[in-house]
Amino acid sequence: MRSTIRKFGPAAVAAVAIAGAIATGTAFADAAGRPTDVPPPSSGRTLTVGPNGQYDTIQAAADEAQPGDNVAIEPGEYDGGLTVNNSGSDGKYITFYGDGGAAVITGDGGGDDGLLAIGDSSWLRFIDVTSKGSNGFGVRANGAHDLVFQNFGVDGSQDGGLVLLGTQNILVDGCDIHDTNGRGTSADQEAMSLGEGSSNIEVKNCEVHDNGEEGIDVKYDDDAQAKIHDNVVTGNRGPNIYVDSSSNVEVYNNVSTGTTNETKAGIGLAVEDYSSSHKLDNVKIYNNVSYGNAQAGLGFWVESSGTMSNIQVVNNTFFGNDRGAVAFDADQFGGDNVLRNNVFGEGDVSNDDFAADHNVSGDPGFVDPGSGDFHLKDGSAAIDAGSKTGAPAFDRDNKPRPAGDGFDIGAYER
């Protein structure tokens, strides 16, 4: 199996899975390049930045911006970082956007505050903006609320990339985060960190790849109310998607492949000692494809002590992972836990703490697993063979379930 795994890492999935994720994303700009959801302000102003603008630097415009204002930035690189000191207000975001292309924030700083330092400033939107080459964090907020990142990028950082701590009401839609955690395992935070009391989180349509630590990490959030979906997360040290000591989290419609460290699963659920609650509860994992990872497709881990409860693993496809479909490095489970309608390509999976039914082992008849296409072909044993109990109403392509006489097994509905 090991030689097969190496045939389809992040490069192979790009042509299939990434294209699909982008196709389901939101178009953020009209023909003129102006973000479609940033109309001419009715009460605020448009502050322009660039060689032809009112301000030479983004910082100068940010210092003047008031609730409802738009900061329109000509495409290009802007040195010096950005510290946002002003907040918008309810219904009146301050919006920073690349006007016709990406506005790239660069600089030698970054440190503990972030090259894009948000702090506790709130009611902010960043569209077509990229943080590049930070010596510390790419972006950091702590104690903020109502933040929107669309078509947003982090292009390299020594520590974490997009780090949002104790932050409420977060939307990250269409991001590209790569080459973060340049310090390796000594780096602080992850490629995307959503933690320490953050809640009401949605991350979708993102590509998070080739980072030196975890990819997307929801951690230490006892009521995260988080939805992590329709992302392609590849080639990170891993896990690609990590839920650590958090509750009320849904992870669905993602592709996770190519973790590089042999101890890191494609999708990881954990209780680490740093957590004060030592629990993970009400986590739903569905419609994901997790394959070709250096450890398992899905891994459970408790560092010392803690409880995992009410975990639903439904309609996922696991294939070609080095340590099998699911690895249980934990034995402290409670509540009602389910393994249902999954394809376990590496072999059967069972655990006394999980009810398991309507799963299939091996290749049930994929279109082309060698190139990362795990749709079911005609005659597949997984077609119409699943249970309707707890099955999602849509598949990874966001097509309705069921499409035939019954629910299909795995991430895709035929």
Residue 72: both structure tokens together: 């329109």
Taking residue 267's Cβ as centre, other Cβ atoms within 10 Å add up to 30
Average of pLDDT values for 309-315?
Answer: 98
CA trace torsion 176, 182, 185, 188 (10° rounding): -70
Pairing of strands 373-376, 366-368: antiparallel
Cα separation, 151 vs 130, in Å, equals: 9
- By 3-state DSSP, what share of the chain in percent is helix, strand and coil, each rounded to 5? 5, 40, 55
Cα separation, 244 vs 399, in Å, equals: 30
Task: Using CB atoms within 10 Å of the CB of residue 100, give its burial: 0 to 12 exposed, 13 to 18 middle, 19+ buried.
Answer: middle
pLDDT computed for residue 190 by the predictor: 98
What phi and psi values does residue 329 have, to the nearest 5 degrees? -110, 45
58: nearest Cα among 73, 46, 75: 73
Average of pLDDT values for 299-327?
Answer: 98
Asked if residue 346 lies in contact with residue 352, where contact means CB atoms within 8 angstroms, the answer is: no
DSSP element (H, E) containing 10: helix 10-13
Percentage of the residues of the chain whose pLDDT score is greater than 90: 88
Amino acid at 374: F
Average of pLDDT values for 82-97?
Answer: 94
Strands (E) across 287-354 are located at 289-291, 298-302, 307-314, 317-319, 326-329, 333-334, 338-340, 343-344
Residue 38: both structure tokens together: 């940033």
Residue 142: both structure tokens together: 């702590």
- Residues with Cβ within 8 Å of 373's Cβ and at least 6 positions away in sequence, in order, are 16, 366, 367
Lowest mean pLDDT among 23-27, 153-157, 183-187: 23-27
- Mean pLDDT rounded to a whole number for the chain: 91
Q: Is the pLDDT of residue 1 over 90?
A: no
Residue with tokens 């990362």: 372
What phi and psi values does residue 63 have, to the nearest 5 degrees? -70, -20
This prediction has a pTM of 0.92
C-alpha angle 340-297-290 in degrees, rounded to nearest 5:
85
Percentage of the residues of the chain whose pLDDT score is greater than 70: 90
Task: Using CB atoms within 10 Å of the CB of residue 191, give its burial: 0 to 12 exposed, 13 to 18 middle, 19+ buried.
Answer: buried
Q: Is the pLDDT of residue 10 over 90?
A: no
Q: What is the DSSP string of 364-387?
A: --EEEGGGTEEEEPTT-TTTT-S-
Write down the domain spans for the chain: 26-204
